[in-house]
Homo-oligomer: A and B are copies of this chain.
Amino acid sequence: MTGPRGGMLELAVLGSLHETPLHGYELRKRLNTLLGMFRAFSYGSLYPCLRALLNDGLITEEEPPADTVIGRRSKIVYKLTAEGKERLHELLTQSGPSSWEDESFGIRFAFFRHTEAEVRLRILEGRRSRLEERLDSVRTALARTRERLDSYTLELQRHGLESVEREVRWLNELIDSERRGTTAREDPSTTERPHAVQDGTKRADMPEADE
C-alpha cells in the first residue's frame, strides 16, 4: 500500500500542493508551466498518482465551501496532510544521485525554497560535479576521435559541450550566492507565507493558458 512510488510526479504533486490546494486539472497546468522547459506530465499519470497519494494519506480532499450546492461534486480539490508535509520534507532532504540527474534536478530546484540551505548546496554541487564528469568524458572521447567525425556529429558535440559548460557556470553562480547567504536560516517547518500571499480571494480558479 504505502510504496514510495519513487517517481518525480510524487514530488511535483506534493510540492505544488504545499503552496496551495488544487484540483487535478489545474495542478497539471501549474506543473507544466512550472517545468515547461524540462518536461510535461499527462493526466494519465497524474490522476492515478493522486489516488495513490490519497490512499497513503499524504493528501486529502478538501471540504467544499459551505455555500456549495448539495449534490454537486465536479472539482476535487486536494490538499496536503501532515504526513504529506513530512513526506515532502523527506523527499526534499534527500541529496544523492536522484537529486541531480537531468530529469529530477529541475523539479528539485523548482521547490528549493522549501529545501534546507545545506541540502540545496549539496544538490547544486552534486549536479555540478555530475556535469563536470560528463564534460571530461566527452572531451577526452572527442580528443581521441576528432578527425574521424563528420561535421554534424562534431557540431552536435560542440553544441552539447557548450550547453553543459553554460549550465556549469550557472551552477557556479548559484553556489556562490548560496554560500554567501548561507548563514540565514529559513523555512524552519512548513506553514508560512512564502513572499506575499493575497488570500481571501477564491484562488485556484483563474483562467490559465495551456497548450
Known A141-B209, A163-B163, A209-B137; contact A151-B37, beta-carbon cutoff 8 A: no
B163 touches A195 (CB 8 A): no
Answer yes or no: A160 CB below 8 A from chain B CBs: yes
A195 touches B33 (CB 8 A): no
Answer yes or no: A193 CB below 8 A from chain B CBs: yes
Query: Which of B110, B157, B208, B209 touches A152 (beta carbons < 8 Å)?
Result: B110
Q: Which of A145-185 contact B (CB under 8 A)?
A: 145, 147-148, 150-153, 155-157, 159-161, 163-164, 166-167, 170, 174
B33 touches A206 (CB 8 A): no
From A193, which residue of chain B is reached at the shortest CB distance?
B150
Answer yes or no: A69 CB below 8 A from chain B CBs: no
Answer yes or no: A66 CB below 8 A from chain B CBs: no
Query: Which of B133, B196, B199 touches A151 (beta carbons < 8 Å)?
Result: B196
- State the CA gap A193–B152 with chains docked (Å): 11
From A195, which residue of chain B is reached at the shortest CB distance?
B151
Which residues of chain B have C-beta atoms less than 8 A from A205's C-beta? none
Known A174-B155, A203-B148; contact A36-B211, beta-carbon cutoff 8 A: no
- State the CA gap A141–B134 with chains docked (Å): 33
A residues with a Cβ closer than 8 A to B are 33-34, 36-38, 106, 109-113, 133-134, 137-138, 140-141, 144-145, 147-148, 150-153, 155-157, 159-161, 163-164, 166-167, 170, 174, 193-199, 201, 203, 206, 208-211
A-B contact pairs, 10 of them (CB 8 A): A36-B137, A36-B138, A110-B152, A110-B156, A137-B210, A148-B203, A150-B194, A150-B195, A151-B194, A166-B166
